[in-house]
Structure 1
Amino acid sequence: MTSVGSIATTLSPTRETLSSSQLLSSSISSLSSASSRQTSSQITKIYRQASTLFLTRRLPESLSTILPVITPPPVDDTNADPEPSPISKAGKTTRVKVWSLYLTILNAVLELDPDEGKQTFGSSEWRSLVSKVRDGEVWEEVVKNGYGGVEGDVDSDVVINLATLLLTHARTQKVNQQRLENYLASSTTPNLDISSRLQSPNPPRNRNLSPAKGSGTDTPRDLNARVKILELYTLHVLLRNNEWDYAREFISISSVLDEERREAFLQALESLQEEQKESERIEKEQQRYQEEQLKRDMEEARRRRIENEERERKREEEERLKRDKARGGSEVDYGVEDTPARPGSSRSKSSVKAGSTKGSSHKKSTSNSSLTARSAPPAKKVPPTLTTRAGNIISNVMKLVEEMTKNFKTKPMFLLQFLAFIIGLLAILSRRDVKERIKRIMGGAWAKVRQTAGMGVKVSYI
């Protein structure tokens, strides 16, 4: 009995110690849960405020409001461990909302016009935000600040938003492909066996090790999210990197997809490949058509240039023939010679040219008396008649017009000088004293003409 009593006495402090430790752990858990609830409420309040600012298109204020939640607080002591960001202590729903809003704000920033973005955020800050998204640095920021650097712990909805953001704005999809492969390799495959989960008496509740573990990763909703990630990876990212065969192989061996979804993915992949081939064919056809059109345009331009050159050559030839004809006709009609002839042949040539202007009967008489004309003394030069003088005047006027036309074509300044001369002449004639003087001169001349005509009439009458 004594031994049993001593054993009971010995066990009683142990029970008391266990009860006290349980009370201490329960108090600590209650305190931690209370602080977590307080943090979640503060984050939710900040999220609503940032959402309101974003909906009113106040992007700088919305971004500055959400940044303190997703970035670690500054540490005064350099030797102390850095504290995690407030968002890492929040629940899954709050985490997903905050990160989704942050990525949505970044997407709106990158959709701004460059001038508008620089004016709204400042040149350096806007370039920093754009570079963060286009280089894929935003993915590392989310993993480091929100999930303690563990790639597989990132919520599936956040992964979908990150992949979509990089798919839209990244310079290359290599970073997006690498990040998705790391996530798919490090994250666990969803387990839909509910019976095994119900049999475990105490499921793990320590969220500091992995925020995503034990937070609904084995639900049908998470399976749908995983299928969505596979869709982005196989039907968008890999195709942007021109890895069609690897995408087909990945879909065929994926354990997440059932037969129906696998068949749908493969059909979508085939249709996308056919569309790409068709677009490439259309692009080649358009490029070939543009090249042929350019070749036709060049041939047409060359043909028009040859026609213009031929037309210009014919026009110059016709003008040259006209000038030669006009020069030859004036010499035949009026006996004008450009160079002085020899003394022995000048009179005979002038007599032949003067005789050619008379009628055909005169030509016959001239031909009959040509033998006698050689021994006869040189005849006197026939004075030009009124018709000959009029022809000479008309010929000189035509030559003057031709010379003026030639000067207009070859010497543009001659046209300006001629216009200046005409304008000066008109200006002089517009003066009143000049007009009166011209009138007096014309009146005197007309009076002399009338007197001459009157005297002629009297003489003819007599």
Structure 2
Amino acid sequence: MTSNGSIATTLAPTRETLSSSQLLSSSISSLNSSSTRQASSQISKIYRQASTLFLTRRLPESLSTILPVITPPPADDTNSHAAPEPAPIARASRNTRIKVWSLYLTILNAVVELDPDEGKQAFGSKEWRGLVSKVRDGDVWEEVVKNGYGGVEGDVDSDVVINLATLLLAHARTQKTNQQRLENYLASSTTPNLDISSRLQTPTSPYPRSRGASPVKGSGTDTPRDLNARVKILELYTLHVLLRNNEWDYARDFITISSVLDEERREAFLQALQSLQEEQQENERREKEEKRYQEEQLKKDIEDARRRRIENEEREKRIEEERKKERVGGSEVDYGVENSPPRPGSSKSRSSVKGGSAKGSRSMPSSSPTARCSVPAKNIKIPSSLMTRASNVVMNLRKLVESMAGGFKTRPMLLMQMLAFVVGVLVLLSRREVKERVKMILGKGWLKVRQTAGMGVKVSYI
């Protein structure tokens, strides 16, 4: 009995303490709700302004407008022991918080997709590289958790997690960071929170808890919206991130043991995983076949090039041998002409008969063209003399004059026409430019005649 009474007396103050704590919690909640509404209203205005700037493709202005909302204010040096002030977005409502973070991630996605020159021109080289590195290294996830949710991974809104995973899936250098972040979120959001004091919102807590459900966190699927968001996160994790890291078996096991998926969704996930795996295997098979075909084609090209090279070498050797044979044959023919016995009646035979030796000094040299070429006597034409040619020219001129005289007798006007033509030619030649042109034409003609004559002399000499 005594013990029961002591227990009763011990529990009574506890009930009183709990009731006073509940009253304090409700009053603080009402104050926080009013401050949250004011913060959400102000943040909504900034969000609309940043959205308008983003829609007009003014990315630097849009980013600079939304950064003060998601960035904690600078610490006050005078009060260094005080807790750091949270970012204004931490006090906003859930819908406002999701919209602001979604817009911020959308702006970062547009910044990363800019061309390097365009991004450096819009933001500056250093700032643009910092933004791109923040996304590709996965540091943006830590920024969202720290500034918006007090560093508590499990408190991040599921829609924000979906946007973060999608952003890293599109632009991250590796999906290891994305996988690790999603695993931390899934683990922390499904771990029960047995700390009852977290329900009591104290004024010293800089980050008001966004979840107003029970102190024991379930799987985050209290509403159909939460369930759909969790299914979407599982889809990104199992059918995209894990597959990028080539963890097919782990993805299949995770889908099989997941408590969020019902039988229908689990079957759909497994079928999608199987189809993706088959597609990847088909792509790998095609890549191997393409690689093998390229290797075979390369070997074939090498063999064709080697065969053509061998054929060219053989052809060149054959042509060189034919040229050597022709040179050897030509030299043998020359020697045969030189060493052939002299014909009867030739100059060489006469010199040999007179001098008693074929090598007499009066004989013609064996290397002369007349000795090498034996032309029949009937084909040799005796050139006409100079007097004969002059007489022919005079006779032709005489015939021309006689024919002209006969023409003048029959046609007296022909003489007048000829005189008029001669006078016109003389008048034309009296002009200076005509004289120079005629002189130039005659000079060119005489130069061509000299060149032709020179070539003829060379040919005749050869």
> Which TM bucket (shorter chain)?
0.5 to 0.7
CA contact (8 A) 1:106 1:129 kept: yes
The amino acid across from 1:67 in the alignment is: L
After the TM superposition, which residues 45-194 of structure 1 pair with which residues of structure 2 at under 5 Å, given as runs? 45-77=45-77, 78-188=80-190
Shift of 1:33: 3.2
Q: Distance in 2 between matches of 1:439 and 1:136?
A: 90
Shift of 1:260: 0.7
Gap change, CA 1:393 and 1:96, over 3 Å in 2: farther
Taking structure 2 as the reference length, what is the TM-score of the superposition? Answer: 0.66
1:282 equivalent in alignment to 2:270: no
Partner SS for 2:341: helix
**Gap runs ≥5 in structure 2:** 1-19, 193-198, 215-219, 376-439, 454-462
Q: 2:318 aligns with which of 314, 319, 322?
A: 314
Q: Deviations over 1:133-169 (max 9, x none)?
A: 1111111000000001000000000000001111111
Partner SS for 1:301: helix
Partner of 1:272: 276
Gap change, CA 1:436 and 1:159, over 3 Å in 2: closer
Shift of 1:313: 1.4
CA contact (8 A) 2:36 2:92 kept: yes
Q: 1:291 aligns with which of 284, 290, 295?
A: 295
The amino acid across from 2:213 in the alignment is: G
Q: Distance in 2 between matches of 1:58 and 1:228?
A: 31
CA contact (8 A) 2:252 2:270 kept: yes
Gap change, CA 1:30 and 1:317, over 3 Å in 2: same
Shift of 1:21: 11
CA contact (8 A) 1:205 1:214 kept: no
Shift of 1:34: 3.1
Q: Distance in 2 between matches of 1:249 and 1:440?
A: 103
Deviates further, 434-443 or 255-264: 434-443
Partner of 2:236: 232
Gap change, CA 1:232 and 1:102, over 3 Å in 2: same
Shift of 1:27: 7.3
Q: Distance in 2 between matches of 1:314 and 1:54?
A: 77
Q: Distance in 2 between matches of 1:120 and 1:332?
A: 92
Identity %: 70
Shift of 1:322: 1.8
CA contact (8 A) 1:100 1:158 kept: yes
Q: Distance in 2 between matches of 1:297 and 1:29?
A: 80
Number of positions where the alignment pairs a residue of Structure 1 with one of Structure 2: 345
CA contact (8 A) 1:155 1:212 kept: no
CA contact (8 A) 1:154 1:212 kept: no
Partner of 1:218: 222
CA contact (8 A) 1:96 1:155 kept: yes
CA contact (8 A) 1:88 1:146 kept: yes
After the TM superposition, which residues 316-335 of structure 1 pair with which residues of structure 2 at under 5 Å, given as runs? 316-333=320-337, 335=338
Q: Deviations over 1:230-287 (max 9, x none)?
A: 1111111111111111111111111000011111111111111111111111111111
The amino acid across from 1:214 in the alignment is: A
Partner SS for 1:353: coil
Gap change, CA 1:301 and 1:269, over 3 Å in 2: same
Partner of 1:253: 257
Q: Deviations over 1:196-218 (max 9, x none)?
A: xxxxxxxx695955213439951
The amino acid across from 1:224 in the alignment is: N
Gap change, CA 1:393 and 1:105, over 3 Å in 2: farther
Q: Distance in 2 between matches of 1:438 and 1:22?
A: 125
Partner of 2:370: 389
Gap change, CA 1:25 and 1:167, over 3 Å in 2: closer
Q: Distance in 2 between matches of 1:239 and 1:60?
A: 35
Q: Distance in 1 between matches of 2:452 and 2:179?
A: 103
Q: Distance in 2 between matches of 1:244 and 1:186?
A: 24
Shift of 1:354: 2.6
Gap change, CA 1:152 and 1:328, over 3 Å in 2: same
Q: 1:353 aligns with which of 341, 354, 366?
A: 341
Larger RCO: 1 or 2 (CA < 8 Å, sep 6+): 2
Gap change, CA 1:393 and 1:129, over 3 Å in 2: farther
Shift of 1:35: 2.6
The amino acid across from 1:62 in the alignment is: S
Partner SS for 2:82: coil
Q: Deviations over 1:51-109 (max 9, x none)?
A: 11111111111111110000101122233321000001001100110000001111111
Partner SS for 2:278: helix
The amino acid across from 2:341 in the alignment is: K
CA contact (8 A) 1:70 1:145 kept: yes
The amino acid across from 1:227 in the alignment is: V
Q: Distance in 1 between matches of 2:450 and 2:101?
A: 105
CA contact (8 A) 2:37 2:93 kept: no
Q: Distance in 1 between matches of 2:452 and 2:320?
A: 45
Gap change, CA 1:97 and 1:440, over 3 Å in 2: closer
Shift of 1:330: 2.3
Q: Distance in 2 between matches of 1:181 and 1:357?
A: 120
CA contact (8 A) 1:151 1:186 kept: yes
CA contact (8 A) 1:189 1:256 kept: no
CA contact (8 A) 2:138 2:172 kept: yes
The amino acid across from 2:121 in the alignment is: Q
The amino acid across from 1:120 in the alignment is: A
Taking structure 1 as the reference length, what is the TM-score of the superposition? Answer: 0.66
Gap change, CA 1:324 and 1:34, over 3 Å in 2: same
